[in-house]
Amino acid sequence: MSESKRALITGITGQDGSYLAEYLLGCGYEVHGLLRRSSTLNVGRVSHLQERIQLHYSDLTDSMSLQRVLQLCEPHEVYNLAAQSHVKVSFDQPIYTGDATALGVTRLLEAVRMIVPEARFYQASSSEMFGKVREVPQTELTPFHPRSPYAVAKVYGYWATVNYREAHGLFACNGILFNHESPRRGEDFVTRKITCAVARIAAGKQRELVLGNTEARRDWGYAGDYVELMWRMLQQEKPDDYVVATNEQWSVQQFVERAFELVDLDWRQYVRTDPRYFRPAEVDELIGNPAKAREQLGWQPRVRFDGLVRLMLAADLVANGVMPEFDWPEVEDIGLYAAPGFKLLR
Ligand code: NDP
Ligand code: GDR
């Protein structure tokens, strides 16, 4: 075992996992992550870190493999970011979503309790738990009313985390994060679906963008900003739960309009809606109050709505061979999937 602090990240191959791995490596951690076996190697978001992180085959549905990984790396901090994280898909796969996103949390907490009880534990809880909103903006005290199998599973994970803290004395925290996006966001989430489509339309490779409910409103932040908060939560004296949000609300429609505007195109000529992208039960609006995180963790987001649209669209334009004719925020990750030398051209 090395002298440095060790962190285990489940979900390291996802959007947040890749940013968190970069952040922890920057802090001098030895970083371990879970890897799910699939027929095509799924490490695109962390391939630039491959020499510096250690990946272990495991799955949140497989207790024994979780125990093996914890025994192997004896982490000081465990970040549980793995989940079946797509809300619409959770209506098609409610049982699997419950198994991975809900029971998976108990499997991991129980393994931590048995093998590394001193380790600090972060649970990726979600604003989706608020669902049918009963208070605006939402805080750590707002009641939950989940609206999808995904959100129901996250409520279970939230309370499992609180319970292991109260019952077993684990240093376990919930980050209740509102939507956060980036150029590394999966292409089936609405922001990235929009920026990918706009970039492809601008490059002459796509003709239309088909969406679901464009009236939905969300509090969108930048993933690269949010992962630092996960780490800060685990550095506090006492474990606690925190809302992380920008406290701004925008609609899907506004995101669409801003993205098309940036490439000088009229969205009306390209966008249509289709019922197949609507959900059986929708979360109409979310907006978070991050006052507790701001005061206790000392945090402010660097990127807000307009910067986020610019950043994501610029990355997708470059990936499609089009140089953006607008500015975007100075954050480090835009060149990850872009052509080599892209930064020199900026
Ligand atoms: P992603 O969907 O990008 O990544 C999910 C990760 O979980 C991937 O690494 C995936 O592996 C892994 N995973 C899925 N199922 C399993 C399983 N059964 N066993 C082990 N690993 C699994 O999510 P994000 O990075 O966006 O989100 C990270 C976490 O934060 C998730 O729990 C999500 O629900 C939660 N969250 C996200 C928010 C957001 O706006 N992004 C907001 C609030 C909460 P693979 O690559 O193999 O698919
Ligand atoms: P969300 O994100 O459900 O909030 O969950 P998503 O981007 O999927 O949807 C946001 C809103 O956009 C509407 N929408 C569409 N959504 C998708 N995916 N595709 C479309 O074509 C489309 N058209 C309109 C949706 O109906 C919804 O109202 C994300 C995930 O990262 C969760 O894991 C996380 O917990 C929450 O954010 C906070």
Per the CB < 8 A criterion, the answer to whether 214 and 223 are in contact is no
ipTM: 0.99
Strands of the chain (E only): list them: 6-10, 30-35, 53-57, 77-80, 120-126, 171-177, 180-181, 209-211, 217-218, 221-222, 241-244, 250-251, 271-273
Q: Which two tokens stand for residue 304?
A: 């807000």
Enclosing H/E stretch for 131: none
Count of C-beta atoms within a 10 Å radius of residue 5 = 14
155 CB-contact burial (10 Å; exposed 0-12 / middle 13-18 / buried 19+): buried
Q: Cα–Cα distance between 75 and 201 in angstroms, integer? A: 46
Count of C-beta atoms within a 10 Å radius of residue 114 = 11
Its pTM stands at 0.97
From 22, 30, 77, 128, the catalytic residue: 128
Residue 65 a catalytic site member: no
pLDDT score at 298: 93
* Mean pLDDT, rounded, for 108-122: 98
- Report CA(189)–ligand 2 centroid distance (Å): 5
pLDDT confidence bin for 2, thresholds 50/70/90 = confident
Residue 22 a catalytic site member: no
pLDDT tens, residue by residue, 52-64:
999 999 999 999 9
Q: Which two tokens stand for residue 99?
A: 């198994």
pLDDT tens, residue by residue, 78-107:
999 999 999 999 999 999 999 999 999 999
Find the ligand nearest to 14 CA. 1
pLDDT confidence bin for 337, thresholds 50/70/90 = very low
pLDDT tens, residue by residue, 201-251:
999 999 999 999 999 999 999 999 999 999 999 999 999 999 999 999 999
pLDDT tens, residue by residue, 29-42:
999 999 999 999 99
Residue 340 has pLDDT above 60, yes or no: no
pLDDT score at 332: 61
Q: Confirm or reject: Cβ of 84 under 6 Å from ligand 1.
A: yes
For residue 50, which amino acid is it? Q
- Work out which ligand 1 atom sits closest to the CA atom of 184: 3
Sorted by where each starts, the structural domains of the chain and their CATH numbers stand as 6-180+222-244 (3.40.50.720), 186-219+248-281+303-338 (3.90.25.10)
